[in-house]
Each structure stands twice: as C-alpha cells, then as structure tokens.
Amino acid sequence: MSNITMIEKATPAAIADWLEKSLQASLAATDGPIPVTIPGGSTPFPILEELVGRDLDWARIAFWPNDDRIVPEDHEASNTGKMRALLEPVGAEVVTLTVMEQVPPFALTWLGMGPDGHIASLFPNTDPQVDDPQAIRRLTPDPLPAHAPFDRVTLTLPSLLASDAILFTLGGSEEKRAVFEAAARGENDLPVARLLSSVSQPVTCFA
C-alpha cells in the first residue's frame, strides 16, 4: 500500500477541495480539454454538489461515467442522467457510454467500490482482466443488485487504469475499508484487487 494515501472521515466538502485542487492542476498542465471518469451511486453526488460551486474552467472538463445502468437517461436509475443534470448547467460535458466509444486517457479516475469489491460495473462474476482488449463492455451483474436490477455498460480495467491519478471514495463504510485494504495487500482477487495490483500512479482513498 506504499503508493496509497488513506484519508479518514473526510466530509463531502473536504473531498471536493481535493478534487478542485486535482482538476486545477490538470487544467493548468494543458490548454485542451481534460477527461475525468467518475462513479455513480449514492456516495459521489453530495461531493459533486459541493464541487459544482467551485471556480473551475468547466467547459474544458469532460466527465465520463465509470459505468451506467442500461436505462433511459430520464430513468431514476440512470447515473448519466443525474450527472448531466448537475454538471451541464455549469458548462461541463457529460459523455454517454456506448460500447463503440473511443476512450481517452483520463486526468483522474474516481472510483467507488461495493462491499463485494466491485468497481464501476466490474462485479466479481464478470472476471475483469487488466489486459481486456475492449475499452467498454456491456455485461450483466450476477446477482443483480436488488436496488438496480439492470444490465450495465462499464469501462474496463485498462480504461480505468489509463489515468494520471486514481481516487477512491468509500463513503465511511468500515466494511468497504476492510475489503479495500485486504485488496491492496493482495489478500483477495476481487476486481478492486486486480486494479490495485496494476497501478503505477498515486492512489488516494477517502475511507
């Protein structure tokens, strides 16, 4: 875990501070747009609500969902729809994932994680590989989460790893932290462990 920085009990505002600093640095390093990939689910949206009030060059930031449920964007289960409603009013771009999309290297990969060690929609049953030849996959979690029983579209491990930095937000869950730390020590073969075993860039985890 030598390249992983663990930060405990951070508020959404504190995580937004970290994100603002990271995005400002990425924007300063280039004159062009910067792509960033962000998670769905319940944890990131309070952080994003804090972030949209910050003074960033939003028009130069393209947000890619890590994954999404295959539902219309106006469906309550759509991550992309929620992201679009929050981020487009400040001028940012939100990308709709399709299997044919060309995925750029990211300035930042921001991930959540489930208690089962899944990241994006790379659940244990999907057997994700760090040398996956596809950038994006359509797949079916098994078991399907009761709160979102839908097929998914997701970035693959190579796409998530092609990034200048990686951020995890675990939402203060002790269960998730234990899974994450075991994965970082190589004590399991869950999707998060496969990603962490291949990182070369700095990883920050808000536990």
| Geometric angle at alpha carbon 182, from 144 and 7, rounded to 5° | 95
List, for residues 124-152, the tens digit of each pLDDT value: 999 999 999 999 999 998 888 778 899 99
CA–CA dist 8, 170 (Å, integer)? 10
What pLDDT score does 1 carry?
Answer: 57
Q: Helices 79-87 and 44-51: crossing angle, nearest 10°? A: 20
**All domains of the chain, ordered by start, with CATH?**
4-25+33-206 (3.40.50.1360)
List, for residues 72-84, the tens digit of each pLDDT value: 999 999 999 999 9
CA–CA dist 188, 186 (Å, integer)? 6
Helix (H) or strand (E) holding 108: strand 108-111
Asked if 45 contacts 84 with a C-beta cutoff of 8 angstroms, the reply is no
The residue among 65, 10, 74 whose CA lies nearest residue 40 is 65
Question: What is the bridge-based pairing of β-strands 203-206 and 166-169?
Answer: parallel
Distance from the Cα of residue 198 to its chain's centroid: 16
Entry pTM? 0.95
Length of the chain: 207
